[in-house]
Structure 1
Amino acid sequence: MTKIARFDAAEYLTAALEDPNPDVFLAAVADVAKARGMSQFAKDTGLGRESLYKALTPGAQPRYSTVRKLLNARGVTLEAKPKVAAC
């Protein structure tokens, strides 16, 4: 994945959130971070590169505050909305 626009990143991350496996979302955030450049993304989040890699490793359980930092650095927010009931 190369350069990702903020809105493309939001759509990509939203699609990843639909998967029940949390590692899918972490992998998507890692893709977005890599597209930005990990060094720049680390600066944008205020996290060290090692901490950033650790938080995005499959199986990691990053704190909510860390996830917020990661998303805020990319200009993306989480949104809760009701499920659409199946007919």
Structure 2
Amino acid sequence: MTEIAKDSGLGRESLYKALKSGSKLRYDTVQRVLSALGVRLTIAPKAA
């Protein structure tokens, strides 16, 4: 968690608060965490 916080530019405690159950997660936070993990979110249309 410490490394993800560092790589995402977020504070460790802020990251814990953002990811706890019931929090209102912001898209910016999700994007930064996914980038720190080396993945990206892709949106595609549902298959017919």
Place the TM-score, normalised by the shorter chain, in its bin: 0.7 to 0.9
Structure 2 unmatched runs, 5+: none
Offset from partner CA, 1:9-49 (integer Å, 9 cap, x none): xxxxxxxxxxxxxxxxxxxxxxxxxxxxx111111111111
TM-score normalised to structure 2 length: 0.87
TM-score normalised to structure 1 length: 0.52
Q: How many pairs are equivalent?
A: 48
The answer to which structure, 1 or 2, has the higher relative contact order (CA under 8 A, 6+ apart) is 2
1:58 is paired with a residue whose SS is: coil
Percent identical among aligned pairs is 58
Q: CA deviation at 1:58?
A: 0.9
Structure 1 unmatched runs, 5+: 1-37
Instruction: Return the match for 2:21 from 37, 45, 58.
Output: 58
Q: CA deviation at 1:84?
A: 1.8
Which protein is richer in helix relative to its size? 1
